[in-house]
Amino acid sequence: MNTPLLEVRDLCIDLPLAQGGLARAVRHLDFELARGDTLGIVGESGCGKSLTALALLGLLPEGARVSGSIRLQGRELLGLPEREMATLRGNRVAMVFQEPMTALNPVHTVVRQVAEPLRLHRGLSAAQARARAIELLERVGVPDAARRADAYPHQFSGGQRQRITIAMALACEPDLLVADEPTTALDVTVQRQILDLMRELVAERGMALVLISHDLGVIARNVQRLMVMYGGAQVESGPTAEVFARRRHPYTQGLLRSVLGGSARREPLFSIPGGVPIAGQWPEGCRFHPRCPIAEAGRCDSFAPPLAATGEGGLSRCHFAQDPHSLQAWHRGPREETGA
């Protein structure tokens, strides 16, 4: 059997609490990706998506404790000395962040920033790296790239800055691209262009993509597989179209309903009642039970459901995953089309 490009097994992340002690923020996560695979991770803020992304790049906050295994082409990344991790980051594994200005240095020209990983990881000369950086800026659609290469990040629009960070991330042709809410700060038209571009580049270069978003609509159009996270754990996963068609978890149903909204039906916008508890304050039993419309007293508030196969190539962590009738709580009328 071929070794997967990325193999994540039993990943747990504990964060330090202000009052002392640790809170488990990511619990027993398992997934794998082959070259060319695209995986979307969705969930509200505080569900563990971004921590998972940071763990893949060895960028967890100070004081975080991580256990389990993250293997890239069979090589274990957890426990790797920072010196060795730095040779992989921006080289074999790259990241696109939500806010491009956090990834770009305001006092360096854009061409210098795109060229830097090429000099660092590929040993290109200054002239070679500059020429390649301009090619990359052109490829990601920065207008008039050769003439504007020596401009600074603030001289570009938000969408152009995000294209520049994508050029930086792709400079060394990484095996794995992790994009954490890459379009949240952009308007809808630019958002679509950026996502189309990332999808094209991933296919063109045979990379694997992990796309993190709180927006199921974005995920629907851009990834083959979907993992829904709540309470630091995977609550549903499977082929994107299957998850959207079957929605074997009330949280997935609620997220999707809130994305599709009521505008098409002239209904009020839907939101899942309540909020995500802070790490360390999760309830007993199913972590979603205080917000779940079909929670069963004595069962959901006492026993944590296992992650079980749904029979459609997917998994769901709900006591009622095998009972589609009981899972209809948030549906009124025929199900919405997702375009997935």
- Is residue 27 at the binding interface for ligand SF4, with CB under 6 A as the rule? no
CA 113 to chain centre: 24
Residue placing its CB nearer to ligand SF4 in the complex, 226 or 286: 286
33, 70, 318, 340: which one binds ligand SF4 (CB under 6 A): 318
- Is residue 286 at the binding interface for ligand SF4, with CB under 6 A as the rule? yes
Q: Which H or E run contains 76?
A: strand 75-76
Taking the C-alpha atoms of residue 180 and residue 158, their distance in angstroms, rounded to an integer, is 16
Shortest reach from residue 300's CB to ligand SF4, in Å:
3
Residue placing its CB nearer to ligand SF4 in the complex, 223 or 292: 292
- Is residue 289 at the binding interface for ligand SF4, with CB under 6 A as the rule? yes
Residue placing its CB nearer to ligand SF4 in the complex, 136 or 295: 295
**Interface with ligand SF4 in residues 292-311 (CB under 6 A):** 292, 294-295, 300, 305
Strands 308-309, 315-316: pairing kind: antiparallel
Contact 158, 190 (CB under 8 A): yes
**Interface with ligand SF4 in residues 221-280 (CB under 6 A):** 249-250
Taking the C-alpha atoms of residue 250 and residue 225, their distance in angstroms, rounded to an integer, is 19
- Is residue 96 at the binding interface for ligand SF4, with CB under 6 A as the rule? no
Residue placing its CB nearer to ligand SF4 in the complex, 168 or 318: 318
Residue placing its CB nearer to ligand SF4 in the complex, 215 or 301: 301
Stretch that binds ligand SF4, among 58-66, 151-159, 186-194, 316-324 (CB under 6 A): 316-324
How many residues contact ligand SF4, by CB under 6 A?
Answer: 13
String of b and e for 237-246 (b: at least 16 CB within 10 Å)? Answer: bbbbbbbbeb
- Is residue 58 at the binding interface for ligand SF4, with CB under 6 A as the rule? no
Shortest reach from residue 44's CB to ligand SF4, in Å:
15
Q: Which residues contact 240 (CB under 8 A, 6 or more apart)?
A: 40, 219, 220, 223, 224, 225, 226, 340
3-state secondary structure of 182: coil
**Sign of the alpha-carbon dihedral angle for 151, 157, 158, 162:** negative
Strands 93-96, 75-76: pairing kind: unpaired
Using CB under 6 A as the criterion, which residues of the chain lie in contact with ligand SF4 when the complex forms?
Answer: 249-250, 286, 288-289, 292, 294-295, 300, 305, 318-320
